[in-house]
Amino acid sequence: MPGEPVLEVEDLKTIFLTRHGVIKAV
């Protein structure tokens, strides 16, 4: 198993943080 769920979680975390303004999307 490549670990697709992990990638999905990472994406959700990134989107969540970006929405909060913690991470500035380039």
Per-residue confidence in pLDDT tens, the chain, 26 aa: 566 666 688 888 888 888 877 766 55
CB 22 within 8 A of CB 13: no
For the chain, what are the domain ranges? Answer: 1-26
Tokens describing residue 12: 């959700």
Q: Are the C-beta atoms of residues 10 and 17 closer than 8 Å to each other?
A: no
Q: Tokens 């769920």, residue?
A: 5
Contact between 20 and 12 (Cβ < 8 Å): no
What's residue 3's pLDDT?
Answer: 60
pTM, two decimal places? 0.44
- What is residue 21's predicted lDDT score, i.e. its pLDDT? 76
So what's the pLDDT on residue 6? 67
| 24 CB neighbour count, 10 Å cutoff | 7
Supply the pLDDT for residue 22.
Answer: 74
Token pair of 9 as six digits: 């979680």
What's the pLDDT score for residue 25? 53
